């Protein structure tokens, strides 16, 4: 609706998915969290299984617009719109999401990095519909953090950084995922850092390494913010996200 309001899109037809009840569901199992495309953001925030399995998504959702917009906004709408700053696109990138696209008589599954093609552009074909979004589940005990900078609370982020992490019994990094959004046309994972961090001890040097990689993302400038400022935010927020994720992992019962 906002896109039509701005006259960015003037579709010949609109299809109302609200009556398609099969598109609204939440399913959490040992491997994944699955959401029907029409599941409201507020439903996700209120779901006890999601809260238990994936607390970071609640933290991210608290930055998506306002209570009123979350009551109507859907996970599928946000991901199909594919705004580079959308918190749910950040979550999908962070959790190595899979999306299921359906057309009459068939469906296909895409990894999220193949789904998002560019600025506000996805691989959804004109005769396809997003049916389901699946987020990979992390082990019960994991550290997490979501850091965002926006002009006002509820605005789209200028930069947001999320981090998931597990530590080994020796206290070194077992697994880490970091997603940076709002900086480039699509959410970016710090893949090279994620691989090199394994086996390293958390602390200032490691956080700084992550921050340096985040600041190296090819950032975009627009009427509101320069690329330099976006890179600066990516650096600071990545450092903080790692620090918080490690502290939270260590504060959880073994
Ligand atoms: C005041 C305000 C503040 C906001 N702040 C934020 C924010 O901070 N962060 C944020 O991420 N969002 C924000 N939003 C966006 C909002 O919260 C919604 O998530 C977003 O607009 C998607 O809305 P929707 O689910 O109604 O999808 P729609 O607006 O109905 O659809 C969005 C696009 O996706 C397509 N689409 C929808 N569903 C499907 C499907 N199943 N298959 C294929 N294509 C589909 C539609 O055709 C359309 O092109 C804000 C909105 C408002 C009004």
Give the end of a domain, one of 96, 121, 136: 136
Q: Give pLDDT, residue 5.
A: 83
Which ligand 1 atom minimizes the distance to the CA of 86? 11
Within this chain, do residues 115 and 149 fall inside the same structural domain, yes or no? no
Which ligand 1 atom minimizes the distance to the CA of 9? 49
Nearest CA to ligand 1 atom 39: 77
Within this chain, do residues 100 and 172 fall inside the same structural domain, yes or no? no
The answer to whether residue 240 sits within a structural domain is yes
What is d(CA 97, CA 121) in angstroms, rounded to the nearest whole number? 17
Nearest CA to ligand 1 atom 31: 77
* CATH number for the domain harbouring residue 195: 3.30.390.50
Tell me the per-residue pLDDT of 115-174, one tens digit each, with 9 for 90 and over.
999 999 999 999 999 999 999 999 999 999 999 999 998 888 999 999 999 999 999 999
Specify the pairing of strand 129-136 against strand 98-103: antiparallel
Domain range for 220: 143-251
pLDDT over 70, % of the chain: 100
The answer to whether residue 6 sits within a structural domain is no
What's the whole-number mean pLDDT along residues 218-231? 94
* CATH number for the domain harbouring residue 38: 3.30.465.10
Mean pLDDT estimate for the chain: 96
Q: Give pLDDT, residue 113.
A: 95
Note if the pTM is more than 0.95: yes
The answer to whether residue 219 sits within a structural domain is yes
Q: Give pLDDT, residue 9.
A: 86
Within this chain, do residues 39 and 76 fall inside the same structural domain, yes or no? yes
The number of distinct structural domains making up the chain is 2
The answer to whether residue 102 sits within a structural domain is yes
Tell me the per-residue pLDDT of 42-97, one tens digit each, with 9 for 90 and over.
999 999 999 999 999 999 999 999 999 999 999 999 999 999 999 999 999 999 99
What's the whole-number mean pLDDT along residues 27-49? 98
Nearest CA to ligand 1 atom 27: 77
Which residue from 105, 109, 100, 91 is spatially nearest to 130, judged by alpha carbons? 100
Give the end of a domain, one of 116, 136, 156: 136
The answer to whether residue 1 sits within a structural domain is no
Within this chain, do residues 132 and 149 fall inside the same structural domain, yes or no? no
**136 DSSP β-pair partners:** 32
The answer to whether residue 166 sits within a structural domain is yes
Q: Give pLDDT, residue 136.
A: 98
Within this chain, do residues 37 and 63 fall inside the same structural domain, yes or no? yes
For the chain, helix, strand, coil in percent to 5 are: 35, 25, 40
pLDDT band at 4; cut points 50, 70, 90: confident
């Amino acid at each position: 609706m906002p896109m039509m309001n701005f006259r960015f899109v003037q579709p010949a037809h609109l299809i109302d998915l609200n009556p398609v009840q099969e598109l609204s569901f939440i399913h959490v199992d040992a491997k994944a969290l699955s959401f029907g495309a029409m599941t409201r953001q507020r439903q996700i925030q209120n779901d006890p299984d999601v809260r238990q399995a994936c607390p970071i998504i609640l933290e991210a959702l608290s930055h998506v617009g306002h209570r009123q917009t979350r009551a109507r906004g859907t996970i599928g709408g946000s991901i199909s719109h594919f705004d580079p700053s959308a918190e749910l696109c950040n979550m999908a990138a962070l959790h190595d999401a899979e999306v299921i696209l359906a057309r009459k008589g068939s469906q296909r599954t895409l990894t999220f990095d193949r789904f998002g093609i560019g600025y506000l552009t996805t691989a959804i074909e004109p005769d396809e519909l997003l049916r389901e979004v699946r987020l990979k589940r992390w082990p019960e005990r994991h550290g997490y953090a979501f850091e965002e900078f926006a002009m006002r609370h509820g605005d789209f982020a200028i930069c947001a950084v999320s981090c998931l992490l597990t530590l080994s019994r020796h206290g070194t990094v077992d697994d880490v995922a970091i997603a940076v959004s709002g900086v480039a046309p699509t959410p970016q994972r710090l893949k090279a850092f994620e691989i090199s961090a394994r086996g390293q001890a958390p602390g200032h040097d490691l956080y700084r390494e992550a921050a340096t990689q985040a600041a190296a993302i090819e950032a975009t400038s627009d009427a509101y913010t320069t690329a330099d400022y976006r890179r600066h935010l990516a650096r600071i927020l990545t450092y903080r996200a790692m620090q918080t994720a490690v502290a939270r992992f260590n504060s959880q019962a073994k």
